[in-house]
Amino acid sequence: MTQQTRRRRADAQRNVEALVEAARTVFDTSGVDAPAKEITDLAGVGVGTLYRHFPQRSDLVKAVVRTGIDAVADAGPELSATHPPARALSLWIDRFIELLETKRGLASALHSGDPAFEGLPGYFMERLGPTLTALLDAAAADGAIRDVLDAEDLLYAIALLCRPVPGRESGHGRRMVAVLVDGLRYGAG
């Protein structure tokens, strides 16, 4: 491989990373239907570069979702290493809630029937399930929570509790999750 080819590949990878980061920021503020130009301007690339790497909007949405899922999954071991089990679990749940809360329009996009999103629920469980299982097991072994829910149940419960509710402020889901987690703590130890 020549130096020029490596440089082009590195440039292309930087462009992809810049586009995903810009899309994440734009989706957080303007929703998943934001204009492509808003994303490319923030990434510092042209619209052609966006469509070369992400031919369909769903490709970009999927890349943003995957990077968010990966970041939450990867946080688990670090939190476990630096905090007591109950605190690590609580901080991880906060990160998961932030992922759910910041993706305006994401639930609608993911449930749109677009075949591009078919693999995301499996990826979601594949990446988050083992991390949450480890956190739950550690907290249960420490006597901080009761061992009554598995990771899959808790992930889905949190996701459902964080769905927007008409007429309720944005912190509603977070409060409902706090009640759920308090229930896990009740009678533990």
Task: Tell me the pLDDT tens digit for each residue of 22-39.
Answer: 999 998 888 888 899 999
With a pLDDT cut of 70, the percent of the chain lying above it is 90
Determine the pLDDT at residue 178. 93
Phi-psi map region of 165: left, alpha, beta (phi>0 left; psi -120 to 50 alpha): beta
Rounded Cα gap, residues 128 and 124, in angstroms? 6
26: which 2 tokens? Answer: 């734009």
Determine the pLDDT at residue 104. 56
Q: Which parts of the chain sit beneath pLDDT 50?
A: none
Determine the pLDDT at residue 182. 92
Rounded Cα gap, residues 88 and 47, in angstroms? 41
Q: Which residues 6+ apart lie within 8 Å of 162 measured at CB? A: 97, 100, 101, 173, 174, 176, 177
